[in-house]
Amino acid sequence: MTLHPLQASPALVEAELAFLAPLGFTMRERWVSGGESFKDGWRLSFSGPIGLTVQYLDQQFEVNFERGGVMRSYREIDHGLFGTRSGFHGDMFPPNKLESAIKKIAADIREHYGLVLSGDDDEWERLRRLRAEERKSGRLP
């Protein structure tokens, strides 16, 4: 089995997230599994005002933001703060659907997540409270 090019390499994500460099982010880790299973993929970790990890493993595309022990996923923020503006209701993407998801999520982060990326104290306090508020509401995730 030969992997789909987007599953075998994070090159597209690196290009789409190039806007992070001027914001003070540097790549801390670039890991590629190197296998040929549908479970294989890659992970990129960035350091900057906050920590940012982007990975595609087992056909799951995840973007996680971390600051001061608080970690929130793109899905949590998109749902909890932005009313699922992205239109995504999950994070499972077969490789042939991954390109559009990467481009849409990267554009959304570039355009609307400036306060999150900068480590803004008030925004991160909102993110810290986000999970507790969802638990209190009794809604399923």
pLDDT tens track for 4-22: 899 999 999 999 999 999 9
In a domain, 138, yes or no: no
In a domain, 29, yes or no: yes
pTM (two decimals): 0.90
In a domain, 139, yes or no: no
Contact 117, 49 (CB under 8 A): yes
Side by side, the strands of the sheet bearing 60-67 are: 26-32, 42-47, 51-57, 60-67, 70-73
Q: How many domains does the structure of the chain reveal? A: 1
In a domain, 141, yes or no: no
125: containing domain = 5-132
Q: What is the pLDDT of residue 35?
A: 84
Name the burial class of residue 85, with classes exposed (0-12), middle (13-18) and buried (19+) by CB atoms within 10 angstroms of its CB: exposed
